[in-house]
Structure 1
Amino acid sequence: MGKPANFSTKDRILGAAEELFAQHGFAGTSLRQVTSHADVNIAAVNYHFGSKENLVNEVFRRRMDEMTAARLGRLEQALAGQPGDLHAVLAAFVEPALAMAQDRQSGGAFVRVIARAYAEKNDNLRKFLSDHYGHVLREFGKAIAACVPELNKEELYWRLDFLAGALTYAMADFGLIKRPHGISEAAHRSKAARELIHFAEAGFRARPRDAVPSPSP
C-alpha cells in the first residue's frame, strides 16, 4: 500500500528545500524555486508549512529529531551500563551525528544545510534550534560534568562548544584527511569518530586553565 498523497507531497517539499538550502542558502532560496524543484504549487507549501520560516524549521526537525533520539538513547545506555565513563558519553554524542553524515542519500545535503546555518545569521532558526534541541547539549553537559567534576560550568561549556564545532567540521568532511582509496565511507567515518572521541576526551580531561601554573619569569 502506497504512502498517503499528502505525506508524499510534504516529503517532496522537504527534500527539495533541503537540497536547495544546501546549495544556495536560506536567503538565496525562494519558495518558487522550492515548488518548482518539488513539482508542487505554492498552495501545497502554504498548506503544509504556512511560511518559509516554518519550512526551514521543519527541514531541521526532520533530521534533528532522529539524531536527537539516537543520541539520547545512546546516552541513556552509557549512563546505565558505564556510569562515569567519559568515552562512552562522548561516543553517544559523536557517533550518531557522523552516522547520519555518512548516509549520502539522506544526510549529505543536511550536513551542508547545517554549515549554512552556521554561516548565515538567522535569529529565528537559532531560536528554534535552541528551544527544541538545546536540552540535548544540557543533558550531555550534565553527563560530562559527572565524569570531570573538576571543571566548572563555564569551562565545561567552552569545551562542549568546541566539541560541537569540531563535530560539525568532521560531519562536513572539510578536513585535511580525505577518505583513502579503497576505504569505505563507513570505515572512514568510523575512524573519524574514534579520533574525534579520543581528542575530545583528552580535551575534557585537561586541567582547568586556572589550575595550570604560570611559567616562571
Structure 2
Amino acid sequence: MPVASASMPTKERILGAAEELFARHGFEGASLRQLTAAAGVNLAAVNYHFGSKDRLIEEVFRRRLDQLNSRRLAGLQKIAGEPGTTIEDVLAAFIAPALELSHDGNGSLFMRVLARAFAEHDDTLRKFLSDNYGHVMRQFTAEFARLLPHLSKEELYWRVDLVTGALTHAMSGFGMIQRKSDVPEQRHREQTAEHLIRFAAAGLKSP
C-alpha cells in the first residue's frame, strides 16, 4: 500500500517514500521495487526524475539540508565576528534550526536517514555531503575558533565533532528523554535546545 498521498506531485511522493524506506532499511536495504510500491509509481518515473538510486539518495538530502543550512548560516551571519557574541549564541544558531527540522513533519525520519549516512560508511554519500555542506561546518568552526583561541585546531575539531554527534542523537528521537504527554511539542524542543546548548558550551569551553 503506498505510503505517500496520491495528491502529491510524483517527485515529492518518490522523495517522501524514499526517506521513509531509507530510515527503516538503510540505503542498501531499501530496494527500488519497495520504493515504487510505496510511492505508487513505476520505475520509469523514478528514472525520469532522478536517473539513478544514488541521485535519488542525494536529492533526499538536498530537500532537507538546503533549507536547514540556509537557516543556520543566516543565524550565524548575524553574530559572526561581533564583540558580544558568545559560544552559546553560535551553538543556538547551529542547534535550534536542526531541532526545529527534526520535529517538523517527517523531520525525525530524515534524522534517522542522516544517522545511517554515517553509520553505513558510504564513501560516495559522505563525499557528497562534504562537497555540498562542508562549508557550513567550516564557517561555524571558524567562529568557534575565534571565541576559543586557547584551543588547538585538532582539539577544536574533536570537540565540534562530538557536539555534532550529540545533536544528531538528540534529533533522532532515540534518546532516553522523551516528551511527556503534558509538555507541548514546542516546549519540549526548547528544553532540548537549552540542555544541549548548555552541555555543548561546557564541553567547548573546557580548558
TM tier relative to shorter chain: over 0.9
Q: Which residue of 1 aligns with 2:36?
A: 35
Distance (whole Å) between structure 1 residues aligned to residue 184 and residue 81 of structure 2: 32
Matched with 1:97 is 98
**Preserved contact between residue 108 and residue 173 of structure 2 (Cα < 8 Å):** no
Between the aligned partners of 1:142 and 1:115, the Cα distance in structure 2 is 25
Equivalent position SS for 1:132? helix
Q: Could you tell me how far 1:160 is from its partner in structure 2? A: 0.4
Q: TM-score, normalised by structure 1?
A: 0.88
**Deviation (angstroms), 1:82:** 6.2
Structure 1 CA distance for aligned equivalents of residues 21 and 154 of structure 2: 37
TM-score, normalised with respect to structure 2: 0.92
| Structure label with greater radius of gyration | 1
Does the 8 A contact of 1:85 with 1:147 survive in 2? Answer: yes
| RMSD of Structure 2 on Structure 1 (CA) | 1.4
Tell me which residue corresponds to 2:165.
Answer: 165
* Cα deviation digits, residues 61-113 of structure 1 (max 9, x gap): 1000010001001101122766532111110000000010011x231211111
> Residue type of the partner of 1:115?
A
Structure 1 residues 33-72: aligned runs within 5 Å? 33-72=34-73
1:177 partnered with 2:177: yes
Conserved? CA contact 1:84–1:146, under 8 Å: no
Residue 178 (structure 1) shift: 1.9
CA contact (8 A) 1:82 1:88 kept: no
CA contact (8 A) 2:102 2:108 kept: yes
Residue 111 (structure 2) pairs with residue 111 (structure 1):
yes
Q: How far apart are residue 31 of structure 1 and its match?
A: 1.1
Deviation at 1:174, TM superposition (A): 2.0
**Gapped regions of structure 1 (runs ≥ 5):** 1-6, 208-217
Partners of 1:96 and 1:155 in 2: CA distance: 26
Partner Cα separation in structure 1 for residue 50 and residue 61 of structure 2: 13
Residues in 1 aligned to 2:183 and 2:56: alpha-carbon distance in whole angstroms? 37
Task: Read off the aligned partner of 1:50 and give its amino acid letter.
Answer: G
| Range 57-66 or range 113-122, more displaced | 113-122
Unaligned runs of 5+ in 2: 1-7
The residue identity in structure 2 corresponding to 1:126 is R
Tell me, yes or no, if structure 1 residue 20 matches structure 2 residue 21.
yes
Identity of aligned residues (%): 55
- Runs of 4 or more above 4 Å deviation: 80-83
3-state DSSP class of the match of 2:174? coil
Q: Name the residue aligned to 2:155.
A: 155
2:172 and 2:186 mapped to 1: Cα distance?
A: 14
1:143 paired with 2:104, answer no
Give the distance between the partners of 2:186 and 2:157, measured in 1 at CA: 30
Shift of 1:28: 0.5
Q: How many residues align?
A: 200
